[in-house]
Structure 1
Amino acid sequence: MKKIISIFVLALVIFSCGKDNDDNLTPAQPQVAVTFKFTHNWDGTTVNSSNLQTEVVTNANGEIMNMTRLRYLVSRFILTNENGDSFNFDGYKFTNLADESTYNFVPENNGIPAGTYSLKFIWGFNELDNIDGAHPDLNSASWNWPAMLGGGYHFLQFDGMYNVNTTPLPYNFHNGTALVSADVFEQNFAQITLPSSLEITNNATIEVKMNIAEFFKNPNTWDLNVLDTSLMPNYDAQKMIQANVQSVFSLGTITQ
């Protein structure tokens, strides 16, 4: 009889424990997808494929300039939630302002829990990705950085004319690996961290705004009369661009 009672009590305990565990299970959080939409402006004036080559602007140093080409690369997008969990997105985004089909980035590995996030990404490529010839699509886009300057790829190609109202002169505002000395190179990417939080509750399009004017004013006021062309082998110029890019990007609207 005692044996029968013991088995009955044990069964009740097992049933009770199983029921408690089921009641405490957290339902799976819904997964949402994100798209990163990059927009471009010059101190608030929209710049896109329709006016890239016709807009005339004035930089922080007072030079009146136009823009004939603007292409750039960003990579390693990471969204981090309030618990400190990070979600890394594969791939990179190569943007050509003359081609609006390149403005959006839709990651292949796309699915995160709804929540509040912060965003960061890499300007250009870090040392793991900036490998000579490793990306066929960039090779065909003539995006390679010269081997004698460290190899890998450009981060930025930005060209046009300045002093267009007086004596027009060309500028080539290019950014990539920094040449320290002969055969000595320095990684020159930047980690961009956007301080604003993102409340993501559903599939979302996240606007990232690029203010092109910031390349020329913060923290280094750029004098195109001194630094206009041949910037690629110029170590100081490359580090100045790396510093200035930190203020170029900001968070825009979230559509969901």
Structure 2
Amino acid sequence: MKKIISLLVLVISFSACKEAELNCCVNQIPVNITLKFTHHWNGVPVTSSDFNNFKFTTENGESVSINRLRYVLSNLKIGNQKINHHLINIGENSGMELSFNEIEKGSTYHELELYFTFGFKDEDNTDGIYQDLNSASFNVPSMLGGGYHFMQFDGKYKDTNNQDANFNYHSIRAVDRTDPDNLVFEDTSFNVNFNSFIAEKSEVTIEVKMNIAEWFKNPNTWDLNELNTVLMPNFEAQKLMRANGKSVFSLGEVSQ
């Protein structure tokens, strides 16, 4: 009799395990995820209300004010969802959030990965194909190979005479115009990957943080007195921007 009872308990336990496994794998519960893009200068929040004021200091010691800062991310992926590109404009408070709906997850939780590219990879950087970016005048001139800006970051800095001077920190695909009839390109986009965050509920908000100060300091200390304007056709400057950009983004709060 005891053997029969033990066998019955074993069968029930096995069935329960199989049912739980089936629920986990088959009964998918979708999750809606909102990306929230925030910006700071070494921990001090930056919004459009901080623009046009000399409130920040670069690693090299220049006092700067921000007049415009907008940038594009492409190939944004979370789970089984993908968005081709997304333009963020801090000055106009546009594009500060981005939604991914109906992402598949398990019955209790799922480990998800967030991936995006800063700018466009060469195969996606085709001139004139993105109407929203055309309307936003985000195009790169044909003399520089066409395609699109990755970032337009404009402002003023105090020069060595403590006078206001302009800077245009514009990031594009690097182009060598030594021979204008034979342009040489280098893909200066870069990938950002945040993995192993857990979605436990059906509504999740993920903060993606940009430290604006990093554009001027890591690994290259940027001297605005040397590199300030006409940076788009500067092949070496574009590669320096790419190197500095790799430390700009970080994963912030995941709330659910």
Task: Specify if TM > 0.5.
Answer: yes
In the alignment, structure 1 segments of 5+ residues that lack a partner are 1-19, 80-85
- Residue 169 in structure 1 maps to residue 162 in structure 2: no
2:102, 2:142 → 1: CA distance?
A: 35
Compare CA radii of gyration and give the structure with the larger one.
Answer: 1
- Residue 236 in structure 1 maps to residue 236 in structure 2: yes
- The corresponding residue for 2:113 is 118
- The corresponding residue for 2:98 is 105
2:229, 2:90 → 1: CA distance?
A: 21
- The corresponding residue for 2:132 is 137
Kept after mapping to 1: 8 A contact 2:72/2:87: yes
1:35, 1:55 → 2: CA distance?
A: 32
1:122, 1:112 → 2: CA distance?
A: 22
Which one-letter code corresponds to 1:100 in the other structure? N
Give 1:1-256 correspondences, 5 Å limit: 26-27=22-23, 28-79=27-78, 87-107=80-100, 110-113=102-105, 114-163=109-158, 166-181=162-177, 182=180, 183-194=183-194, 197-202=196-201, 203-256=203-256
2:187, 2:131 → 1: CA distance?
A: 21
Q: How many residues align?
A: 231
2:41, 2:226 → 1: CA distance?
A: 22
Q: Output the TM-score relative to the length of structure 1.
A: 0.83
In the alignment, structure 2 segments of 5+ residues that lack a partner are 1-14
Which one-letter code corresponds to 1:72 in the other structure? Y
1:89, 1:175 → 2: CA distance?
A: 24
Which one-letter code corresponds to 1:243 in the other structure? A
Kept after mapping to 1: 8 A contact 2:77/2:83: no
Q: Output the TM-score relative to the length of structure 2.
A: 0.83
SS in 2 for 1:50: helix
SS in 1 for 2:52: coil
1:171, 1:207 → 2: CA distance?
A: 29
What are the superposed Cα offsets for residues 158-208 of structure 1, whole Å, 9 maximum, x if unpaired?
01111178111110000011112332222221111236x312112111000
1:199, 1:149 → 2: CA distance?
A: 43
How large is the RMSD of aligned CA atoms in angstroms? Answer: 2.3
1:142, 1:120 → 2: CA distance?
A: 26
Question: Which range moved further: 109-118 or 93-102?
Answer: 109-118
